[in-house]
Amino acid sequence: MEDFEDDPRALGTRGHLRSVSRGSYQLQAQMNRAVYEDRPPGSVVPTSAAEASRAMAGDTSLSENYAFAGMYHVFDQHVDEAVPRVRFANDDRHRLACCSLDGSISLCQLVPAPPTVLRVLRGHTRGVSDFAWSLSNDILVSTSLDATMRIWASEDGRCIREIPDPDGAELLCCTFQPVNNNLTVVGNAKHNVHVMNISTGKKVKGGSSKLTGRVLALSFDAPGRLLWAGDDRGSVFSFLFDMATGKLTKAKRLVVHDGSPVTSISARSWVSREARDPSLLINACLNKLLLYRVVDNEGTLQLKRSFPIEQSSHPVRSIFCPLMSFRQGACVVTGSEDMCVHFFDVERAAKAAVNKLQGHSAPVLDVSFNCDESLLASSDASGMVIVWRREQK
C-alpha cells in the first residue's frame, strides 16, 4: 500500500488524537503474533480453540447453519428500476428498508404477517444511490443522483432536512460515523469524500478529501477511527478519523486493480474469542470477492483470500454474517451477476462455497441479514427484493 509521507501527524499536528501509539501498536502486534503463532498459514478463525462458541451455535457446520427453507416474501414495489441497497434495521429482526433508482425508499415490516410496505419515502428527484440507518434506527440518511442527501424520520417518513452536496455532484454512497451519528460521510462523483454534520447541514472543517475517481463505497471500522473509501478507478484509501473534530487524515492507498471499480467495502473488527483479525471484504468488478486483512492501525490492507463470483460491471455488494464469531468457521455473503446469492467460508482455501440461493431474474446487487440471521434479504437490478427464511433447527 502507498504511504502518505506528508502526513501532518508526523509533525505533531495539534488536534489529532491517535487511539494507539506506534509503540503500543507494535506491542499489540507482538501479542497478536504470540496468540496466533500456532495457526495454519492464511487462517482467519482459530476454531480449534472455540468449543464454547461452537456450543452456542449448536456445534453445527456452516453448510447446516446457512441452509435456507426458501422465500419468505417478495417485495416488487420498485420493479423495473434497480434496488442498489437493502438493509435491515440495526439489531432488528423484522424491519427492512431498500432504496431504488426510481427515487424512493421503502420501509417494510415483515411481522406480523403478511409482510407489508409501511411507507415509501419520496422527495429525491433522481435515483437513490445509497442509504443508512442510524444506530437507534430513528432516522435514515440517503444519497441521490440529484446531488442531495436527505435526512428522514423513520417513524413517520418525514423528511427532516435536505442537504445539497458541497460540490453540486451526484452523491453515490453514505455511511454514519458509528460513534457519533450526528456525522455522516458521503462520497460523490467529483472524487470527493465529505464529512457532513446532519444537524447543521454543513460539511465539517477538515473533513474532506479527494480520491482518484468517483467514490462508490465507504466503510468505518467499529470504533469509528478508521474509514475506508473505494473509487471507480480501483483504489481504496484509508483515513484516520479525528473523533473530536471530524477531521480526516489520509493514511494509506491500495490499488486493488487499476480501472476496476470498487463497489463495496465491508469492515469487520473480529475482536472476539473466535475471530481476532480485523478484516475488509471488497467487491471490485474482478469476478472475485476479495478478503483483506487490516495489518496496522492506519488501515494498511493485505490480501488474504479471494472467492469466485460473477461481477464485471454491476455495483455488487457483500457482507460479513453478523453471528460469525459464534460459528464454526466464518461466513460471508455476496450478490453476483449470475443472479444468485453466494455464501463462502473464509476459512477454506479450497471448496469455500457454502450455499447458493437461486430465485432472482437479474444481477443481485445487495444482501442483508437481520440481527439473528433468521432472515436474509437480497435486491437485484430489476427492482426485486427477496426475503429468504433460514431453516430452523
Choices 3.40.50.2000, 3.40.50.300, 1.20.20.10, 2.130.10.10: CATH for 69-390: 2.130.10.10
CB 362, CB 344: distance < 8 Å = no
Q: Give me the sign of the Cα torsion angle 146, 150, 153, 159.
A: negative
* 108-123: pLDDT as tens digits: 999 999 999 999 999 9
Phi, psi of 179 (to 5 degrees): -95, -35
* 15-38: pLDDT as tens digits: 332 233 333 323 333 333 333 333
Higher per-residue confidence, 80 vs 41: 80
Give the whole-angstrom CA distance, residue 186 versus residue 217: 9
Give the closest residue to 275 by CA, choosing from 351, 344, 328, 353: 328
| Cell numbers for 253 | 492507498
Tell me: pLDDT of 56 over 60: no
Upper half-sphere CA count for residue 209 (Cβ side, 13 Å): 24
Q: Which of 43-52, 161-170, 300-309 has the lowest mean pLDDT?
A: 43-52
Sheet strands side by side (includes 2-3): 2-3, 248-255, 235-241, 226-231, 215-220
pTM for this predicted structure: 0.85
Residue 55, pLDDT score = 53
Non-local CB neighbours of 272 within 8 Å, separated by 6+ positions: 53, 325
Q: Give me the sign of the Cα torsion angle 184, 96, 108, 143.
A: positive
pLDDT band for 42, please (50, 70, 90 cuts).
Answer: very low
Give the whole-angstrom CA distance, residue 174 versus residue 195: 10
Give the closest residue to 385 by CA, choosing from 68, 96, 91: 96
pLDDT band for 274, please (50, 70, 90 cuts).
Answer: low
* 181-202: pLDDT as tens digits: 999 999 999 999 999 999 999 9
CB 293, CB 330: distance < 8 Å = no
Residue 1, pLDDT score = 66
List the chain domain ranges.
69-390
Give the closest residue to 153 by CA, choosing from 141, 169, 170: 141
| Cell numbers for 270 | 473480529
Upper half-sphere CA count for residue 78 (Cβ side, 13 Å): 34
